[in-house]
Structure 1
């Protein structure tokens, strides 16, 4: 299937998923547990896609471990800085649960985005963690989340385009579709869109305004796809392989950072749901592993090593058209 057709279908589904995410509170009862289960499952999937798919394909496409891993490092750092600067990637549940589990040990006030964790009973933790500004609430407080998530979604579009471009080496079958990357993005978009519309709703914005902002946000992924192809269109074949490989490594870093940002905070502060959340995480990771069965096995050859470098040859997988 032509790359353009695949990406058009994917982008359409991602836009629809983003719009659906913004409307989720009106379609279903979003309890705290349901939100955490979705986050854990998608987090496990993205962790598996980043480590089992994006990074190996980045190495295969570029022919360089250093280039792909360097891209992954930059991706992790970039996503961390986006979260730090824009306070992006906050998934706010609509309803609280487990009042019996709150008490003095675990307090969640999700309407104000406050998380206060006290563990005085164990004598070693008194943690006050706030996701909101201490000043008066502004009707524009959603803007930082919107900007951060929009940049994040542009990166998702670049990742999707790079994955589909790399999968074009596959002669036939579902391996040409880069299913893992697509699923990681499309399943995560509703949670991101919900973050924006939740804060807008709490600030008193109308449904029309929320839908318009959410639609603008949903277009960021297709824009990222277009940006990627405009950037590599004039490159020669060798440089294009390096750029695609580095982009896949970068995307792996982004996926890994996002997944851990979703998963790690829940390990310590949600002991009452630990088996549910762990099961969802494992199922997501197993889905990422299963997607690998759709991909053809890599072939390998030895990369030449400069004389006198003191380094042993490294076996690297290469795309079929470069062997």
Structure 2
């Protein structure tokens, strides 16, 4: 299957997933526990995809461990500062938007009230429902999802070397993105609902956000076409390493707060995390090994082999 066709299909599915996330509050009962279980499962999947798929593919594609790991480091820092500056990747507490569920949820042992697993302290924002709050979340998540688009385009392009099978589809990276998009879209919807925005406006904003990932894919895909072959593999490898850092940072932001703030439902949340991680492992079984995956690809920069010391003559021993 042509890689551009794969990306086109993925674009449609990701946009649909984002729109579904914005509509979830009207379709199902989003209790706090259900949100945490979803985040734990998706977080485990994204952690596995970042460590087991994106980073190794980045090394194999670029031929440089330093380039791929450096990209991962840059990706972690990028997501950290996106969260720090825009307060992106924080979903509004379900209890505040659905007070009818609050009594049921607070029967558990909550140490804090928190958003998306984070402590929901108010640090100087006099009007948390102001337009600046949801606009900041929208901008932060839009930059984040543009990066997701670059990651998916790089993964699909790197998979072009695989002769057949699911390995050509970069299915692990796609699942990590498409399953997390509804959670991201909820961030915008929750905050806009708290500000009493109309349903039409919320749908338009959510649709604009949903388009960010396809835009990132298209820009990266066509930018690669302008590069020389010797640069293409380095750029794809660096982008895969960068995406690995983004996935790892996002997943840990979802997972780690559960250890401190959620003494209740720990087995349920841990099971969801393990299921997501095992799913990432299972997806790896459907793909060829990383060395085999790239053995038919064009020549690229290679890591210099370790030079073994020459054996000394017997007279010098």
Range class of TM-score, shorter chain: 0.7 to 0.9
Q: For residues 172-187 of structure 1, what are the structure 2 equivalents within 5 Å?
A: 172-187=164-179
Give how far 1:303 is off. Answer: 4.7
> Structure 1 residues 134 and 114 mapped into 2: Cα distance closer, same or farther (>3 Å)?
farther
Q: Provide the rounded CA distance (Å) in 2 between the counterparts of 1:39 and 1:157.
A: 20
Counterpart residue number, 1:305: 304
When the two chains are superposed, the root-mean-square deviation of aligned CA atoms in Å is 2.1
Give how far 1:27 is off. Answer: 0.1
Give how far 1:115 is off. Answer: 6.8
Counterpart residue number, 1:62: 62
Give how far 1:238 is off. Answer: 1.5
> Structure 1 residues 243 and 28 mapped into 2: Cα distance closer, same or farther (>3 Å)?
same
Q: Provide the rounded CA distance (Å) in 2 between the counterparts of 1:244 and 1:109.
A: 37
Alignment partner of 2:222 out of 230, 242, 248: 230
Q: Provide the rounded CA distance (Å) in 2 between the counterparts of 1:181 and 1:204.
A: 35
Q: Is the 8 A contact 1:114 1:131 kept in 2?
A: no
Q: For residues 151-190 of structure 1, what are the structure 2 equivalents within 5 Å?
A: 151-190=143-182
> Structure 1 residues 26 and 63 mapped into 2: Cα distance closer, same or farther (>3 Å)?
same
Q: Provide the rounded CA distance (Å) in 1 between the counterparts of 2:45 and 2:38.
A: 11
**TM-score, length basis structure 2:** 0.87
Counterpart residue number, 2:107: 100
Alignment partner of 1:142 out of 123, 134, 145: 134
Q: Provide the rounded CA distance (Å) in 1 between the counterparts of 2:269 and 2:282.
A: 20
Give how far 1:305 is off. Answer: 2.9
Q: Provide the rounded CA distance (Å) in 2 between the counterparts of 1:233 and 1:107.
A: 50
> Structure 1 residues 71 and 289 mapped into 2: Cα distance closer, same or farther (>3 Å)?
same
Counterpart residue number, 2:121: 130
> Structure 1 residues 131 and 70 mapped into 2: Cα distance closer, same or farther (>3 Å)?
farther
Give how far 1:139 is off. Answer: 3.4
Please state if 1:81 is matched with 2:86.
no
Counterpart residue number, 1:205: 197
Please state if 1:12 is matched with 2:12.
yes
Give how far 1:273 is off. Answer: 1.2
**Deviations, residues 218-265 of structure 1 (Å, cap 9, x unaligned):** 000000011102321111111100000000000000000000000011
Q: Which runs of 5+ in 2 are unaligned?
A: 96-101, 296-300, 309-317
**TM-score, length basis structure 1:** 0.86
Q: Provide the rounded CA distance (Å) in 2 between the counterparts of 1:304 and 1:224.
A: 30
Instruction: Report the secondary structure of 2:113's partner residue.
Output: strand
Q: Provide the rounded CA distance (Å) in 1 between the counterparts of 2:118 and 2:171.
A: 36
**Deviations, residues 189-238 of structure 1 (Å, cap 9, x unaligned):** 00000000100000010000000000000000000011102321111111
Q: For residues 271-290 of structure 1, what are the structure 2 equivalents within 5 Å?
A: 271-290=263-282
Q: Provide the rounded CA distance (Å) in 1 between the counterparts of 2:122 and 2:188.
A: 14
Counterpart residue number, 2:288: 296
Q: Which runs of 5+ in 1 are unaligned?
A: 117-128, 314-323
Counterpart residue number, 2:248: 256
Q: Provide the rounded CA distance (Å) in 1 between the counterparts of 2:19 and 2:122.
A: 25
Instruction: Report the secondary structure of 1:172's partner residue.
Output: coil
Higher strand share: 1
Q: Provide the rounded CA distance (Å) in 2 between the counterparts of 1:9 and 1:115.
A: 34
Q: Is the 8 A contact 2:159 2:168 kept in 1?
A: yes
Give how far 1:100 is off. Answer: 3.1
Q: Provide the rounded CA distance (Å) in 2 between the counterparts of 1:90 and 1:304.
A: 40
Give how far 1:109 is off. Answer: 6.8
